[in-house]
């Protein structure tokens, strides 16, 4: 169950490990392994569009002016700052390789690869 009723669009991404839900002002991760909810407060964004994406073992989400990559347990493993322009005009797209995704911005397409962090 979601912690409250949201009377508007919710952005979600689902894979075999969990569900990432990004309502305004929050980022909620539900683990499918142990039904645990992890919630984190996120500064409100001016944009209604909140890109989220799920790969087989990771999630990608945008919060205000940063791109976050979460592991299969919903823990943040990478974070990159985006410029004001980038934060409003980009989207996440899957690629043929399961561990890769593309970030399409107004002037470029960048290919990213998720590697499990060690140590």
Q: Please give the pLDDT value at position 15.
A: 92
Say if residues 20 and 70 touch (Cβ distance below 8 Å): yes
What's the pLDDT tens digit per position in 83-113? 655 555 777 888 888 888 888 877 888 888 8
Percentage, residues of the chain above pLDDT 90? 6
- Short-list 71, 70, 69, 77, CA closest to 103: 69
pTM of the model: 0.78
Q: Please give the pLDDT value at position 27.
A: 82
Which pLDDT band holds residue 54 (cuts at 50, 70, 90)? very high
Say if residues 55 and 15 touch (Cβ distance below 8 Å): yes
What's the pLDDT tens digit per position in 21-39? 887 777 888 888 776 666 6
What's the pLDDT tens digit per position in 58-82? 999 877 677 888 888 888 888 888 7
Whole-angstrom Cα distance, residue 119 to residue 111?
25
């Amino acid at each position: 169950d979601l912690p409250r009723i949201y009377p508007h669009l919710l952005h979600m991404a689902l894979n075999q490990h969990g569900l990432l839900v990004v309502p305004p002002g929050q980022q909620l991760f539900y683990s499918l392994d142990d039904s645990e909810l992890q919630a984190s407060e996120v500064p409100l964004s001016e944009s209604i569009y909140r890109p989220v994406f799920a790969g087989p073992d990771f999630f990608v989400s945008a919060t205000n002016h940063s791109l976050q990559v979460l592991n299969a347990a919903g823990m943040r493993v990478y974070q990159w700052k985006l410029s004001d322009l980038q934060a409003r005009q980009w989207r996440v797209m899957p690629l043929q390789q399961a561990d890769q995704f593309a970030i399409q911005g107004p002037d470029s397409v960048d290919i990213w690869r998720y590697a499990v962090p060690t140590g």
